[in-house]
Structure 1
């Protein structure tokens, strides 16, 4: 049974996370939780949990924004209105960053979880992305990214992918195909010559960097964002050859 709006925004007094919405879907369970503040307080932090695995929250967003900025910076300056594909809507930071850059042309966001799309369109996360979703360049596609990359009819100048905690830590087993030789070939097929592939990861993956080179990508490198504890978040960057 899928909970429907209005959503429960009550937060426990001891700051334990409170479940706002929980859905069961074709890929398992996805949960939106809330920490901090009271009711609709600006101090509230929302978290997305998939199959018991923490994915992201609204507390920071620096690395999600870097995902978009780094891809745009890597594109040739003389490429007008580049088309962007964002893989994974998440808490919306990547989309908001993209819309803030006037240089981007069309912006497609592929998200497989109907619940996540609902939370942005009519739920608590609308406070983050309502303006970005209303931008005429934005299109939200409800689809599985791995399948959509394989069969989609369009090409893009940049693919910014953030559907897992990284190539070595996927949310579901099926997502592993995205980082395989077959998956990277599908990414290359969706990219225009000279296009940029950017992949978010919660930790560096030297093996994935090697996979990118083996798949024919060039200018393979990483950019890091330091975190309070542990290894830095990473954006893997690569360019499709002409």
Structure 2
């Protein structure tokens, strides 16, 4: 059998199955299953799936590691919920104190509470440290009064690849200044992105953050996923 003949005998990739689709407050959101993997799609844009989760876990781990030594039971704001890897990672360890998750799509919360994404997050939802806020992250950061030791933000495919136009304000000078104000002195901002961005690193420095750096997670194809890290001055 030739190489081409072998390729032709391989089964075709399994098409995705839409499990739920809803018109939410910010457009259409859908939950799909592709084989054993679940995917979240927002306004036709792929957001994330359950195939890996390394970079979502890095988002939380890197933020915790970047905090000043000796900080006991630090609080963390996770935005948004997604498929639940970041929340599950935070709740799996004893070091975090208050764990607040901001998610603006009721459908996503439902998929965790009563749907298949509970396989990732059920234990975290039951953890008494966990609080779920059903609200828009951009508005919460700009108008809220609560402060946190860490902000772990994962609501877009990156600062330059937002799911909705309004999200772009989070990465603007005013949005980054608001993030800084939501942090305790020495607190850390961690932002997930599907690609590195020197421009965003510079924006963080211009917004008054210190210790700006980027950690990468190698992916099978294309540029690495990254977590941008920055500290509020102590």
Q: TM-score, normalised by structure 2?
A: 0.94
Q: Which residue of 2 aligns with 1:188?
A: 180
Which of 136, 143, 149 aligns to 1:144? It is: 136
Which of 75, 79, 84 aligns to 1:83? It is: 75
Q: Which residue of 1 aligns with 2:118?
A: 126
1:31 equivalent to 2:30? Answer yes
Q: Which residue of 2 aligns with 1:113?
A: 105
Structure 1 residue 181 displacement after superposition: 0.4
Q: Which residue of 1 aligns with 2:6?
A: none
Over aligned residue pairs, what C-alpha RMSD do you find?
0.9
> Which 4+ stretches in 1 moved above 2 angstroms?
none
Q: TM-score, normalised by structure 1?
A: 0.91
Q: Which residue of 2 aligns with 1:3?
A: none
Structure 1 residue 29 displacement after superposition: 0.3
1:35-78 deviations in Å (ceiling 9; x for gaps)? 11xxxxxxx10000000000000000000000000000000120
1:153 equivalent to 2:152? Answer no
Structure 1 residue 14 displacement after superposition: 6.2
In structure 2, the CA distance between the partners of 1:103 and 1:145, relative to structure 1 (3 Å rule), is same
C-alpha separation between the residues in 2 aligned to 1:230 and 1:93? 22
Structure 1 residue 152 displacement after superposition: 1.2
Structure 1 residue 151 displacement after superposition: 1.2
Q: Which residue of 2 aligns with 1:205?
A: 197
C-alpha separation between the residues in 2 aligned to 1:157 and 1:126? 27
1:158-204 deviations in Å (ceiling 9; x for gaps)? 00000000001000000000000010011011000000000000000
**Structure 2, unaligned stretches of length 5 or more?**
1-11
C-alpha separation between the residues in 1 aligned to 2:63 and 2:196? 17
Q: Which residue of 2 aligns with 1:52?
A: 44
**Structure 1, unaligned stretches of length 5 or more?**
1-12, 37-43
Q: Which residue of 2 aligns with 1:226?
A: 218
C-alpha separation between the residues in 2 aligned to 1:146 and 1:30? 18
C-alpha separation between the residues in 1 aligned to 2:171 and 2:198? 13
Q: Which residue of 2 aligns with 1:17?
A: 16
SS in 2 for 1:105: coil
